[in-house]
A = this chain, B = another copy of it.
Amino acid sequence: MDSMKKGWFSEFGQLWPGQTFSLECEEVLFQGKSPYQEVLAFRSKTYGNVLVLDGVIQATDRDEFAYQEMFAHLALCSHPDPKKVLVIGGGDGGILREIAKHQCVEEITICEIDQMVIDTAKKFLPEMAKGFDDPRVTLFMGDGCAYLEQKKNEYDVIIVDSSDPVDGGPAETLYAAPFYRHLKEALRPGGLVCTQAECQWIHLNIIAELIRFSRNLFSHVEYAYTTIPSYPCGQIGFLLASTGDSCKTPKRTIDESLNKYYNEEIHNASFVLPSFVRRAIYKDENSQ
């Protein structure tokens, strides 16, 4: 099958062979090629506007809140008092919108490599891109790894909102041990990182490897997930790596009336994994 055929967009990827999710497309809104990736936006029949990078769905109007809310609030509610937050990637702005719900945060820096992602989101996914409007936000255009290497003992929370670790893609280096060492060094005492950590149904090998090497660096490394229909297998996970306490129980609450997905109970529940996942990724422990 082709990725756009008879009015349907189909998502093919080397990380999910033999399966694909498709959305009916009503209008292609934008197609371009940046120095880093192919950027596509289209209006779907039932999921609103859709942002696609290198053929992979990044966000749809209909379900993006599940990803943005869980990613941001799992991270920020696990820290007792986050003041300085760094986002690497996340150029669509959705994570910024959620971080801005935390009154205690004083500075939000976002490091995005691709201007075309920001411009496309601002034009076609304004409900996400409005995250850039918060006065606490500073945008740094450039490579997240290079930015991070200069930062020591600076952030309370770092969120790595990256695309998948495709060979030769812009996110490949973000799934390797050297990057996690830089993440740790950029944290203040008690700080934590939360990274996009793929799907437990199809990427157990990636997840197990992330956990293996990050456990040598952090005091707690834990995997959580959210459901989200437009991602492969209908879900995606997050790795929470903390220099302080476990992240499984929130340290703070936020005004839950603002949220559509995240609540205090689902914070706890999102760390509870099916038995086959536990065995594969926490295999060195008796229980988790």
Contact = CB atoms under 8 A, between A and B. Distances in A.
26 contacts: A1-B5, A1-B6, A1-B8, A18-B23, A18-B45, A19-B21, A19-B24, A19-B229, A21-B21, A63-B201, A66-B274, A201-B227, A229-B232, A229-B233, A235-B235, A256-B275, A260-B275, A260-B276, A262-B275, A263-B274, A263-B275, A263-B278, A265-B272, A268-B269, A268-B272, A269-B272
A162 interface: no
Nearest to A279: B260
Interface string A261-288: 1110110110011111010000000000
A28 to B, nearest CB: 16
Contact of A234 (B17, B22, B235, B266): B235
A18 B10 contact: no
A114 B41 CA distance: 45
Contact of A10 (B22, B262, B272): B22
A107 B141 CA distance: 66
- Describe A's contact surface by its main secondary structure: mixed
Given A227-B227, A263-B275, 14 more contacts: A19-B229, A66-B274, A201-B227, A202-B229, A227-B233, A227-B235, A229-B232, A229-B234, A234-B234, A256-B275, A259-B275, A261-B274, A263-B278, A266-B272
A98 to B, nearest CB: 13
A268 to B, nearest CB: 8
Contacts of A233: 227, 229, 234
Interface residues of A, number: 43
A195 interface: no
A233 B22 CA distance: 11
Contacts of A263: 274-275, 278
Contact of A22 (B20, B66, B261, B269): B20
Contacts of A17: 24, 45-46
Interface string A229-252: 100111100000000000000000
Contacts of A227: 201, 227, 233-235, 274
